[in-house]
Amino acid sequence: MKHKLLLLFPLLLAMSALAVVPEEDVATTITLRGHQCGGPATDVQERQDAEGNKTIAALCPNGSRYRIDVTKDGRLTVTPIR
Partner 1 sequence: MDETVIVTAQGERRYLWSAGESMIRIALLFAAVLLSCCNHAQKAPAPSTAVPVTSAPRPAPPPVQTAPAPQEPAVAKTAPPVVAPAKEPAKGASQEAKPVEVKTGQEKAAEKKPAPTPTPAAAPAAKEPVAAPTPKAKGFDLDMLTERLKQTSAIGVFTKLAINSDATDLIDAVKKYRKLAVLQAKHAEVRSRFDGLVMKILALLEDDPELARNIYLAREQIWSSLLEVTP
Contact footprint for partner 1 (CB under 8 A): 15, 18-22, 24-26, 28-29, 32-33, 56, 68, 70, 74-78
How many CB atoms within 10 Å of residue 57? 16
Contact between residue 23 and residue 43 where contact means Cβ atoms under 8 Å apart: no
Least distance between partner 1 and beta carbon 3 (Å): 26
Among the listed residues 39, 24, 48, 34, the one whose alpha carbon sits nearest the alpha carbon of residue 78: 34
What is the Cα 4 distance to its own chain's centre? 32
Rank residues 6 and 19 by Cβ distance to partner 1 and give the closer one: 19
Least distance between partner 1 and beta carbon 12 (Å): 13
DSSP state of 39: S
Least distance between partner 1 and beta carbon 4 (Å): 23
Rank residues 1 and 11 by Cβ distance to partner 1 and give the closer one: 11
